[in-house]
Amino acid sequence: MDLEDRQGITEQHDESRAPPIADGRPPHQARSDIFFAAVKTTRMPMIVTDPHQPDNPIIFCNEAFVYTTGYSEEEILGANCRFLQGPETDRTVVAEIRKAIAAREEIAVEILNYRKNGSTFWNALFISPVYNEAGELLFFFASQLDISRRREAENALHEAQKMEAVGKLTGGIAHDFNNLLQVILGYVDILDAPVDAADRPARRAVEAIATSADRAAQLTQQLLAFARKQELRDRLMNFSSLVRDFRPVIDRTVGDSVTLRVDLAEELWNCRVDPVQAEMALLNILANARDATNAAGEIRVTASNVVVPHDDQAQGKLADGEYVRVDIEDNGPGVPADIAERIFDPFFSTKEVGKGTGLGLAMVYGFLRQSNGMATVGHSEALGGACFRLYFPRATGALERKAPQAAHSNPGGQERVLMVEDQPDVAALGAAILGDLGYDVVHASSARAALDVLAADQNFHLLFTDIIMPGGMTGVALAQRVRRDYPHTRVLLTTGFADDNLDEGSNSFELIRKPWRRAELDAKIRAVLDRPGART
């Protein structure tokens, strides 16, 4: 018995009281025809099941249900709704539906269903029992709505909020930790000079402190990269040139026992990114690929020009536009779906304790997002293992050429430096190192205090200032004032943390990242002061 037969049965008691219409059909029949025509053609998937038959089978489905599920009407009719369920369908939701049907109650749930081709969709499902006037159960009616896009948007928002919260936490920790590491590494450099080379225990102790501090500095840099709070010094570069110049380091990273194949498309577009961070991102993924193959497999690096949304893998994740896509594939075991969802989370690692920090891939993800790109992971069709994809946005312009470095000499004692640092221990260290390098140092604890010093004494060759400063005026704002009012004073910025709102305009000044080392600071200051046009 089909639905129309049951409909007719339920309304037979009204037929004798209702006069026939013009074509001889009773009014209830005309209403039934209109109802079924509407249900049949509506865009909302609908079904009717018969609880009086074994297993409550589907006895009616409309065209929208056929289209949404991918099954034919013949495959649907007579089947129980559970044929839409799959391995990731929430069993607790299924139990709720089963309980409501047993109790003959209405229920509204959201459930993950599967189409005939195996793809999934989120389904907002409403089920209601249908009774006749005598209160007897006739059918169950179910309407559905594909809410996949809404769920994806909600998940993306939740992920963004989670990443933002973790990013603020890690960024703040890394900033404070970098100041501590600056003091440790700075005094290591000061201790290193007077230690006699023959005093091997003392020499080993200094080297051990320096090595550990350097490793800690790398961890904080990875935290800042994930939090997207690192200072990016981007420039126009071509990935082909980057790989060619960086190839010796790449070869050492993957090792001699790994077969490395590099295939870069001709005429790759230029990108504007921080080349140092791009190299570190590439090394991180190559190191993971090497470990996945037990250092004895095959790794393939390919690069090509792609356009979004035509590139299916990036569609919905990146803004429309042109990108250079770099694929790093291996023949290892691959990345399971449940791990792929978390692989870029900070501190998530599948390696043994002590074998990884769980920050390498988080750093890659943060760097790419900060550069308006994207990092994804999937299955390698070519090698059978994992495939990491890095998307770098295309940029236009001419590539920059490196100018040859001229030899510099430190006149020592003839140049004055105004150092602006709010942390007393970092300020004391900076003054000690700069004084040891031969500079006459004056310290100010804030940007306002530095302007007061300059108002009374303009005879400074260099302003060396932190970016994040107390008192409402950042180091960048101070540098801009000094450039305008004291054009003969050169500027060098430093930071262990950066934020788009704080360091806007900082790219027009030279910068040294905390924690810096003595030799690095010396070379950077000379590069700034010895540039043509500097005050003498």
Three-state secondary structure string covering 329-380: EECCCCCCHHHHCCCCCCCCCCCCCCCCCCCHHHHHHHHHHHCCCEEEEEEC
- Listed as own residue / partner, the contacts of 252-255 with beta carbons closer than 8 Å and 24 or more positions apart are 253/283, 253/286, 253/287, 253/290, 254/286, 254/289, 254/290, 254/299, 255/290, 255/295
Q: What is the pLDDT of residue 504?
A: 57
Tell me the mean pLDDT per 10 residues along the chain, length 536.
Answer: 42 40 49 70 89 93 92 93 91 94 93 91 93 91 89 75 66 73 84 77 82 74 57 75 86 88 91 83 89 89 89 69 93 85 73 57 81 89 91 74 46 79 90 91 93 93 89 89 93 76 68 87 92 57
Cis-peptide into 57, omega within 30 deg:
no
Decide which of 2.40.10.10, 3.30.565.10, 3.40.50.1470, 3.20.20.80 is the CATH code for 236-393.
3.30.565.10
Q: What is the pLDDT of residue 359?
A: 63
Contact assessment for residue 144 and residue 128, using Cβ atoms and an 8 Å cutoff: no
Rounded to whole angstroms, the Cα distance separating 293 from 316 reads 31
Rounded to whole angstroms, the Cα distance separating 305 from 319 reads 15
Contact assessment for residue 332 and residue 297, using Cβ atoms and an 8 Å cutoff: yes
Residue 379, phi then psi, degrees to nearest 5 = -100, 135
Residue 123, phi then psi, degrees to nearest 5 = -120, 120
Q: What is the pLDDT of residue 286?
A: 92
Rounded to whole angstroms, the Cα distance separating 426 from 334 reads 46
- Listed as own residue / partner, the contacts of 94-100 with beta carbons closer than 8 Å and 24 or more positions apart are 97/125, 97/127, 100/127
Closest listed residue to residue 389, CA positions, set 368, 366, 359, 417: 368
Domain ranges of the chain: 42-146, 152-226, 236-393, 416-529
Where on the phi/psi map is residue 181: left (φ > 0), alpha (ψ -120 to 50), or beta? alpha
Encoded tokens for 51: 């609880």
Q: What is the pLDDT of residue 92?
A: 93
Please count the other Cβ atoms lying within 10 Å of the Cβ belonging to residue 41.
10
Give the domain 152-226 fold: Helix Hairpins (1.10.287)
Q: What is the pLDDT of residue 404?
A: 42
Q: What is the pLDDT of residue 42?
A: 84
Closest listed residue to residue 381, CA positions, set 329, 307, 308: 329
Give the domain 42-146 fold: Beta-Lactamase (3.30.450)
Give the domain 416-529 fold: Rossmann fold (3.40.50)
Rounded to whole angstroms, the Cα distance separating 73 from 63 reads 8
Encoded tokens for 92: 């607790």
Provide the H-helix boundaries in 57-90. Answer: 63-69, 73-76
pTM: 0.47
3-state SS class at 506 = helix
Cis-peptide into 20, omega within 30 deg:
no
Rounded to whole angstroms, the Cα distance separating 111 from 98 reads 13
Residues in the chain: 536
Residue 465, phi then psi, degrees to nearest 5 = -130, 145
Written in H, E and C, the secondary structure of 469-503 is: CCCCCCHHHHHHHHHHHCCCCEEEEEECCCCCCCC
Residue 16, phi then psi, degrees to nearest 5 = -70, -25
Amino acid at site 382? A
